[in-house]
Amino acid sequence: MPTDDVLMADAGADELLVWPWTGILAMAAADEDADAATTLAFHAHQRFAGVATTALQEEPTNHQQHFLLLHFGKNWAGLRDAMSLAVHFAGAGRREWQRRGREGSSEGAGGVFGWAAVGEDLLGDGAVGRILRESGAAARSVEDVEKDEASVAVTLSAVAGEYERRERLLAAKNEEMVRAVQRMEEESSWLRSELNELKAVADNSLPEMNHGVDEENEKLRAELDAVKGEIELRVDRIQELKECRTDLHFSKLEKLAIKINSLGMADIKPEASDNAQMLHDKHKEEMEAINAKVIQLEKQLEQKEAQEYAICMLNTKLQAVENLSIEEYGHLYKLLTILKECLEQKSERFQNAYVELTQRDHLNRNELQETRQEVIKCLESMATGDCTVIGIKRMGQLDEKPFHHACKRKYRDYDPEGKGTRLISLWQKELKNKSWNPFTTILVDGEEK
């Protein structure tokens, strides 16, 4: 800033001034004059209203010296006000005050002198120098202050630039994060739509596919069951025919033996021979018929084996169809399985949370009911004149491990387990006592704590 209007009066441009900027008003008075301090305060208020002041007084040999320090601060406005004292008190500055002290003169406007405090005032032996030094003031030139101000301005500019750079960087990162969040929301929305579409496709297509596959499987199973039933019937028929052939053979032989034995061999040899030949021919015909039937049944058995092979092939085809349907729509089955697992997990979490909340609600209701009963009892006892303390304690359940560990360390050779059990019982009993308090009051520096 320009300093042509500031560097005036009797202080040179290179003279050291007191910083923070300070002005001095001085006045000499006789011992009986008590209005000096009031006069100085009037001048200060008239020209520098609102400025902080400090009143001082010295008593030389034959008179009193009154001083009033004006604290203008550290800014350039304070320097301007301090240097303006040379204008307000032209001809009554620091040099005139010093000359008056040497010559005993009383010059000055109304006997009041004023000037900007300089380094000599700071180093002086009087009350002014002592107060300035105690306040931490320093002697500095205007050029030094300008350099410091410029350095501070450069530093502040650099700091401001760094803050602006960081602000831009944070704004860019914020925008990037906002865009990333938007992209994630868009991707999430797209994934949800894709999932819904896949679920819709699965809900629509899987029943149709399963319906077609189920119909084909049912048809193949029905054919397979029919073939199996027919084969079983034929096997049973063959078994029955084999049993009938065996029974018929033995019955024919028995009948033939009975007839031969019943005939008189001596009297009717020619007739027996004819009957035996007839029976033999008849038996031969029956055996041929049975053999033909057996051959037919063997052929049917071969057909059964062929049908069983066909059934095996049908089973293979059916299994292949089922595997093909699972492989072709495996991703849909996998997706539905994942969705089912997610739903089961959520259902389990909700169920656990519901159970926990129910237990807490039940516990709170029990505690409230117990508190209500206790309050009713206490109010009834108060109505009858008995003094009753209303109180319900909930201090938790004691942890037994610390008691046992402490007893093992302290009473290692004196039944630590029994000692720990007794201590736990004692503490549990104290916890149930409503009037028991686990704290004690002691005196610390005369106060109860």
Q: pLDDT (tens digit, 9 = 90+) per residue, 221-244?
A: 777 777 777 777 776 776 776 666
Residue 262 has pLDDT above 60, yes or no: no
Going from the C-alpha of 200 to that of each of 188, 197, 206, 332, 434, the distances in angstroms are 18, 5, 10, 11, 65
> What pLDDT score was predicted for residue 208?
63
Q: Is the pTM of this model over 0.85?
A: no
Mean pLDDT of 325-329: 56
The tokens describing 176, both together, are 């990037």
Q: Residue 26 has what pLDDT?
A: 82
pLDDT at 268: 41
Structure token digits, residue 297: 């049944």
pLDDT tens sequence across 146-177: 777 777 778 878 888 888 888 888 888 888 88
pLDDT tens readout for residues 295-313: 776 777 777 777 777 777 7
Q: Compute φ and ψ for 435, nearest 5 degrees.
A: -90, -5
Residues 86-102 pLDDT 10s? 788 887 878 887 787 66
pLDDT of residue 9: 41
- State pLDDT tens for residues 421-435: 888 888 888 777 766
Rounded distance, CA 52 to CA 349, Å?
71
Mean pLDDT of the chain: 72
Cis preceding-peptide flag for 20 (omega within 30 of 0): yes
Taken as a whole, the chain contains a residue count of: 449
| 396's tokens | 């938790």
Lowest mean pLDDT among 95-99, 116-120, 251-255, 345-349: 251-255
Residue 364 structure tokens: 């709170």
CB 68 within 8 A of CB 44: yes
- CB within 8 Å of 221: residues ≥ 6 apart: 318
And the tokens for 44?
A: 């200060």
The predicted structure's pLDDT at residue 60: 60
Q: How far apart are CA 114 and CA 93, in angstroms?
A: 5
Average of pLDDT values for 273-283?
A: 58
pLDDT classification of 112: cutoffs 50, 70, 90: confident
pLDDT of residue 337: 76
Please state the rounded mean pLDDT for residues 281-296. 68
Q: At residue 179, does pLDDT exceed 80?
A: yes
pLDDT band at residue 2 using 50, 70 and 90 as cut-offs: very low
pLDDT of residue 7: 42
What is the number of other CB atoms lying within 10 angstroms of the CB of residue 170? 10
Instruction: Compute the half-sphere exposure of residue 176: CA atoms within 13 Å on the CB side of its CA.
Output: 6
pLDDT value at position 269? 45
Please report the pLDDT score of residue 3 as a whole number. Answer: 43
Going by C-alpha positions, the residue among 73, 87, 85, 103 that lies closest to residue 26 is 85
CB 119 within 8 A of CB 130: no
What is the predicted pLDDT for the residue at 332?
63
Q: Is the pLDDT reported for residue 106 higher than 60?
A: no
**Calpha distance 429→436 (Å, rounded):** 10
Q: For 24-55, how does the pLDDT look when each residue is reduced to its tens digit (9 = 90+)?
A: 888 777 655 557 777 787 777 777 877 787 77
Check: CB of residue 326 under 8 Å from CB of residue 333: yes
Q: What is the pLDDT of residue 127?
A: 77
- Range in 198-207, 251-260, 279-288, 291-300 the model is least confident about: 251-260
Q: CA–CA separation, 21 vs 76, rounded Å?
A: 9
pLDDT tens digits, 355-393:
877 887 777 778 778 777 777 777 777 666 665 555 655
Nearest 5°: phi and psi at 266? Answer: -75, -35
Residue 176: predicted pLDDT = 83
Segment 272-301 shows an average pLDDT of: 65
- Give the percent of the chain with pLDDT over 70: 68
